[in-house]
Structure 1
Amino acid sequence: MIKQKWKKMQFVEISMHEIFCLQDRLDRVKDTPEKVWDIFDDFLMECENQLELDPGFIKELQEIDLENDLIPLNNFDDFKELFEEDNPNYIAARDYVNYIFSKGH
């Protein structure tokens, strides 16, 4: 996990085809709320994967000090030690970590 310092607004480009495909997938599972959430969560993760990268952010990535800037994260217990549950970013970060671990990364 990397300590992120860059907080500028980023944009994702989504084609109309992707939107219609998402709508079709959601229509097929509209009576199953947990599947709706899974589809929407997958969509958001894909959006995150397509974020535009600011040149300053890329420069920061190139200058990462592997000994001081990376935090080992091997399981969810490691994650829980880093954040207080009342931290506003805790839920989003927790969900992302769970997603990564569920995919076997």
Structure 2
Amino acid sequence: MITRADGRSDGDDWTEDFKELPGGPGISLILESTTQEGHGPRLHLHHYAETFIIRRGSATFTIGSEDVVGRAGQILVVPAETPHKFRTGPGGYEAVHIHSNPTFETVWLE
């Protein structure tokens, strides 16, 4: 079991990174939550797939050469070796990012 580092006992506004999770599931997680527009990482790729489960708000993703708007209730999967980035939409964004690797391995392209 993992408990929030900030001591809160709810799931709201939870932003935290988890790698090498207990039990050896072979994944790492990013919990992302912001009320701000225009936030997100610059262009990068991973040697493994990354899955985005969008819980609130929206973000515009660039995946390869395609731009897609992901919204609450959708799941996006970025295949291994695919350049990607995103920018949060109006009102922000909350999502779980699942890295198909026990640690984060990122190749920054910009």
State the TM-score, normalized to the length of structure 2.
0.21
Judging by fraction of residues, say which structure has more helix. Answer: 1
Judging by fraction of residues, say which structure has more strand. Answer: 2
